[in-house]
Amino acid sequence: MLSDIDLKTKKILITGAHGFLGRHLVKNLLEKRKVPKENLFLPSVEDLDFKKWENCQKAVVGQDIVIHLAAMVGGIGANLETPGEFFYDNIIMGVHLMEASRQAGVEKFTALGTICCYPKFTPIPFKEKDLWSGYPEETNAPYGLAKKMLLVQAQAYRKQYGFNAIYLLPVNMYGPGDSSNLKKSHVVAAIIRKIYEAKKDNKDYIEVWGTGKPTREFLYVEDGAEGIILATEHYNKPEPINIGAGKEISIKDLVELICDLMDFKGEIRWDSSKPDGQPRRCLDTSKAKKEFGFEAKVDFKEGLKRTIQWYKEKIEQNYEC
């Protein structure tokens, strides 16, 4: 039976370390886990493009643990515009990196899937056993299926080679440091930006995609980083595992809540010509609690307040969010 891992004694490669989630995960490892900085290998995409096989080979040399966060991500618009890139970039990075890790004798590989892996019509709350019960929601199916193949690979490699690869299914994350670029951002950051700019420009309305009816679940990014690290330390089984908060909110209620927190009194105009995406999303997180004691800690409203404050401070410093 595989034992728990003390990360302080390991050499750790983190792909996507300079992204939104990656920065929080690295901070957790350095400050909370007290992992020596020299034990972390944090290449940027400029250093090593993981779509290239030889770069994956280079990256894993001498590493004990690989935490694969790097991904091409974006909202519904980006997924609709470049589905081929979302499929190819994500599948090729993961497949190459896991195979290179296996060949190099890496001790453990933590692969991140996505809630987009789940079927379009999954019973609420999403349970891991329902992962294969249907086709993903069409607007992000290429992305979701590309990431889902890492689960197939991880389970196949465990069966044939005894390779300790685990597979996590995180829900949408939000928090300080998230991109609000409207071409690629997720909904929380995008709404904060739209409201901020409407107030600055004295506009009395904002426009939001869809009808507002779908529900989503959101996990504060620091909680997400903690869940991934706990799994890396303690989880060594082939079955996928959800990482989330276990609560859902409609997009309509979300937008109204952010408007309230930002004191925006204007109109919300819904563009129903734009797609809603998956009807509902909410995870059953009981398995993560049972297997490695993970529970989300940050209250959603408190997390939104922190995110809004961060955004305002960075914009006032002329920082491109």
- CA 291 → CA 168, 236, 241, 250, distances in Å? 12, 10, 9, 29
Residue 105 phi/psi, 5-degree rounding, is 75, 30
Q: Is 143 a catalytic residue?
A: yes
Instruction: Tell me which CATH code domain 7-175+217-247+279-298 carries.
Output: 3.40.50.720
**pLDDT at 185 (0 to 100):** 67
Tens digit of pLDDT for each residue in 289-315? 999 999 999 999 999 999 999 999 987
Domain parsing of the chain, residue ranges = 7-175+217-247+279-298
* Closest residue by Cα to residue 115 from 104, 135, 131: 131
Residue 321 near residue 194 (C-beta atoms within 8 A): no
CA pair distance 220, 301, nearest whole angstrom: 10
Q: Is it the case that residue 321 has pLDDT exceeding 60?
A: no
Question: What integer is the mean pLDDT of 273-293?
Answer: 93
CA pair distance 165, 32, nearest whole angstrom: 24
* Strand pairing category for 172-174 and 108-112: unpaired
Query: Helix, strand or coil for residue 66?
Result: strand
At residue 184 the predicted structure's pLDDT band, cuts being 50, 70 and 90, is: low
Which CB contacts under 8 angstroms, 24+ apart, belong to 81-86? 83/141, 83/142, 83/143, 84/142, 86/140, 86/142, 86/143, 86/146
CA pair distance 199, 258, nearest whole angstrom: 13
**pLDDT at 181 (0 to 100):** 72
**pLDDT at 182 (0 to 100):** 66
**pLDDT at 1 (0 to 100):** 66
**pLDDT at 230 (0 to 100):** 98
- Write down the mean pLDDT value for the chain: 94
Q: At a CB cut-off of 8 Å and minimum separation 6, what does 157 contact?
A: 98, 102, 163, 165
At residue 254 the predicted structure's pLDDT band, cuts being 50, 70 and 90, is: very high
Tens digit of pLDDT for each residue in 200-218? 999 999 999 899 999 999 9
pTM, entire model = 0.94
Residue 115 phi/psi, 5-degree rounding, is -60, -20
The amino acid sitting at 15 is T
Burial of 321 (0-12, 13-18, 19+ CB in 10 A): middle
At residue 318 the predicted structure's pLDDT band, cuts being 50, 70 and 90, is: low
Helices and strands (H, E) in the chain, number of each type: 10, 12
Find the range with the poorest average confidence among 153-157, 178-182, 297-301: 178-182
At residue 75 the predicted structure's pLDDT band, cuts being 50, 70 and 90, is: confident
Q: Which of 143, 196, 220, 235 is catalytic?
A: 143
Find the range with the poorest average confidence among 19-23, 76-80, 135-139: 76-80
At residue 319 the predicted structure's pLDDT band, cuts being 50, 70 and 90, is: low
Tens digit of pLDDT for each residue in 87-105? 999 999 999 999 999 999 9
Residue 268 near residue 110 (C-beta atoms within 8 A): no
Taking residue 160's Cβ as centre, other Cβ atoms within 10 Å add up to 9
* Residue owning tokens 């006032």: 316
Angle between helices 53-60 and 83-104 (to 10 degrees): 40
Concatenating the DSSP letter of every residue in 191-254 gives HHHHHHHHHHTT-SEEEEES-S--EE-EEEHHHHHHHHHHHHHH---SS-EEES-S--EEHHHH
Taking residue 231's Cβ as centre, other Cβ atoms within 10 Å add up to 22
